[in-house]
Amino acid sequence: MDSAFEDEAEHTVSIQEYLKDVEEQELEADLVLGGDEGKECTYNNGYMKRQAIFSCLTCTPDGNAGVCTACSLSCHDGHEIVELWTKRNFRCDCGNSKFGEFFCKLSPNKDIENVENSYNQNFKGSYCTCSRPYPDPDVEEQVEMIQCCVCEDWFHEEHIGLDSSDEIPRDEEGEPLYEDFICKGCSAVCSFIRLYNQTILASGSQKDAPVETAKDKKVLSDMPLAGRSGKLENDISQSSDTISEPVCGGDSLLLGENSGKNTDSDQCITDANAPVTCVIGVNLVVASPVLECKPMFLLKNWRDVLCKCEKCSEFYEQKHIRFLLDKEDSIMEYEKIAKQKREEKLQQQEGAELTMLDKLGHVEKIEILSGIADMKDELRSFLGSFDPSKTITSADVHQMFENLAKKRRRVE
């Protein structure tokens, strides 16, 4: 009977644990929202590089629209909302033609449609190749998913196309050893990344891939061109003007025999008078590489390594993946900026409190400081006299404040 009563007893936490939990939740919210306090619609900021976006299934059940944080709070309060975390190059849709007669309360004057916005199945509340919702009501234990940095969809580990989850690069404690993930579907257009070999690719327990070590994590620009050798696929035509999509095949195109040649087809011009050999030695615009289509795990700062020559940049533009060159597009940079905003906000709050105190008269300052001291003494006395084996109830807290009020009245 006693054990059954203990199981039904209310779970208790210490004040320190509660405050720590609140702080962690606030930090997590700031990281997701990018420091956006949700007071103003972001529409006037245009297509933002990255921002938190929500889908309202009450207003747009087809999942063809997204709204910013402020609109999700002010315009869609009480609606069925899907939290999409962040989306790139997106402009708030709230109140445009997709919402029928519904108008945005914060920014009513909007274009009929945001033509540059992109929508995937996430806007309908579906994720992964299995198109299941998250959280999944048919699953008892929810498992974490991995987001592709290209299509921005989320995937269950067992559905990303690996033979085993052990192939996902992790340390001994299960923490990821990669910064970004590219899904199997997007690996086709991004197959050229395999030309960089293990320089930016993180390895798990793949049989044919060496385990990445700290010494191996060097940027490609630090490696001499002469030290990177390989061969080009014989059937790739260097004179073709047709841009072909990468085809899933074997690892037949390696980093670059042509990197040391000065042929016109392989040469990338960054300046009219100074022809420069492409880092990977392959003209991606003329012929896309034929490499295997498997999910890729990418090391920290991998974007910095990508070749930015004229031909490669043209290829990124044609394939609509130029954002890969933008460091501010990454989640890491987004969260870094969010942390900076959070620190600035906390500093401003502390400054405002000090400014308010400075504006008070001497007597008012003494009263406030005295009140704080009395509060600390009463709380210390309360906790010191309380039986630690018992649970603190709301009545106990009310009694503590009543004792404090009585003490203040006696002083006055």
d(C-alpha 189, C-alpha 320), whole Å: 10
Q: Sort strands 81-90 and 48-56 into parallel, antiparallel or unpaired.
A: antiparallel
Q: How many CB atoms lie within 10 A of CB 252?
A: 16
Q: Which residues of the chain have pLDDT under 50?
A: 1, 4-9, 206-247, 249-266, 269-272
Q: Residues with Cβ < 8 Å from 143, sequence gap 6 or more?
A: 156, 157
pLDDT for the residue numbered 254: 39
pLDDT for the residue numbered 220: 37
pLDDT for the residue numbered 134: 92
- Contact present, 243 and 192 (Cβ < 8 Å): no
Q: Which amino acid is at 59?
A: C
DSSP state for residue 272 in the 8-state scheme: T
Q: Residues with Cβ < 8 Å from 297, sequence gap 6 or more?
A: 168, 169, 177, 178, 180, 181, 201, 202, 203, 204
pLDDT for the residue numbered 350: 67
Q: Would you call 40 helix, strand, or coil by DSSP?
A: coil
HSE toward the beta carbon, residue 200, CA cutoff 13 A: 25
Q: Residues with Cβ < 8 Å from 386, sequence gap 6 or more?
A: 392, 396
pLDDT for the residue numbered 315: 95
pLDDT for the residue numbered 132: 95
pLDDT for the residue numbered 228: 32
d(C-alpha 52, C-alpha 235), whole Å: 45
Q: How many CB atoms lie within 10 A of CB 190?
A: 23
**Burial (CB count <10 Å: 0-12, 13-18, 19+), residue 188:** middle
pLDDT for the residue numbered 111: 94
Q: Which amino acid is at 108?
A: P
Q: How wide is the angle at C-alpha 219 spanned by C-alphas 243 and 178, nearest 5°?
A: 85
